[in-house]
Amino acid sequence: MAVVRKVLASNFIGRFTTPHTVDHYLDQIHPMLAVRHVRARVVEVIHETGHASTVVLKPNGTWTGFKPGQHVQFGVEVEGKRRVRVFSVSSSTQRKDGKFSVSVKAHPDGYVSQFLHNDMLPKTLVFLSQAEGDFTLPDKVPDDLLLVSGGSGITPVMSMLRTLRDTGHQGQVTFLHYAKSASDEMFHDELDKIAALPFVQMMRIYTREPAEGAELEGRFVIDHLKHLGIDPVNTLTYVCGPAGLIASVRDTYTELGATSQLMLEYFKVPSVDVNAADATGTLTFDDSSIEADNSGATILEQAEAAGLTPAYGCRMGVCNTCAIKKNHGAVRHVVSGQVAANTDETIKICVHVPVGNVSIAL
């Protein structure tokens, strides 16, 4: 099949299908047939909690696999409209059946996550990207590793834990996870089993409903690492979760001079302060001949408020779906605070706010 796919993807065959692609015609035969497009069928939907689910997928032959910690663009067609969001892979790379899974918490205003949790059925066709992202373990995993997650930020970390388990990792892995309660914790039963593995030191902290006799309580502080015997300066650390958790860990590592050991992945961007001092000037959407007073919200939010419908996926600066050229002006990244002021540069409008007058090719 690989040889057939290579032939169909060749420039020679492409001359006969122009202006369409080979995949356009293969789709007429069967939606899972493709030489480049990645698609999958839903095999099973597993409800992890009352608000979170895992979707097990069987991809077509164009899927090239993933590294633990990566994500995919996940598209479903509902009522004739394709909607795409970004979800992390949660399964081990060592599955032998060709399947993989994504795990998602349903958000109140998240159309795709709500559909996935409440309505998705086996055999549903899913439109995917190849796996993406740099939040991945190194090829040679160090002897000491710290994984920190909060809420649904556990999903890429779970892929790491499962893979380390299945590859017979011999080093020490410390896993520190924060959830509201035991009932709100994804993968609860499996985590109990992983905690019993000899190479794992696990601490799960329930911030709203602490477990009786819990060793640690509350949100992240340096004392939690001290209790676990972690030296941030000498421990490679992966953190995934909401902005508050990321900020606390990042600030702690900065104070200790340990930022070189830190890998971060946001699962929710910080709220934008609409009263910020840089919420001045005019935001111009050049291609639409629309101008709007800068409200201080992200450029994506301001574009939507102006009646535009720019493409987007994750809304948290991960997937590049919303990347658009900024013609001129300065913008601030809502996570890092970094200001970009070059002319004709590409920015992700879901995580940038204008600083003064800005024009966008939209």
**Domain ranges in the chain?**
37-128, 144-266, 282-360
Sorting pLDDT into bands at 50, 70 and 90, what band is 17? low
Query: 282-360 is classed in which CATH architecture?
Result: Roll (3.10)
Mean pLDDT of 134-146: 94
306-335: pLDDT as tens digits: 999 998 877 877 777 899 999 989 898 887
pLDDT at site 273: 54
Mean pLDDT of 147-151: 96
Pick the more confident residue, 121 or 34. Answer: 121
Residue 243 confidence (pLDDT) above 90: no
Residue 277 confidence (pLDDT) above 90: no
Look at strands 323-333 and 352-360 and give their pairing.
antiparallel
Provide the b/e sequence for 251-262 (b: ≥16 CB within 10 Å). ebbeeeebeebb
pLDDT at site 333: 85
Question: How many helices (H) and strands (E) are present in the chain, helices listed first?
Answer: 9, 17
CATH number of the domain at 144-266, please? 3.40.50.80
Residue 227 confidence (pLDDT) above 90: yes
Give the rounded percent of residues in the chain with a pLDDT score beyond 70. 87
CATH number of the domain at 37-128, please? 2.40.30.10
Q: Give the Å distances, CA to CA, from 288 to 302, 342, 357, 362.
A: 14, 22, 16, 6
In this structure, of 273-282, 290-299, 341-350, the range with the lowest mean pLDDT score is 273-282
Q: How many residues does the chain have?
A: 362
d(CA 318, CA 326): 18
282-306: pLDDT as tens digits: 999 999 999 999 998 899 999 999 9
Contacts of residue 239, defined as CB under 8 A and 6 or more positions apart, other chains included, come to: 148, 149, 153, 245, 246, 249, 250, 262, 263, 264, 265
Do 234 and 209 contact (CB within 8 A), yes or no? Answer: no
Q: What is the pTM of this model?
A: 0.78
Q: Dihedral angle at the C-alpha atoms of 15, 18, 24, 26, nearest 10 degrees?
A: -30
Output the average pLDDT for the chain: 88
pLDDT at site 82: 82
Look at strands 262-268 and 290-293 and give their pairing.
unpaired
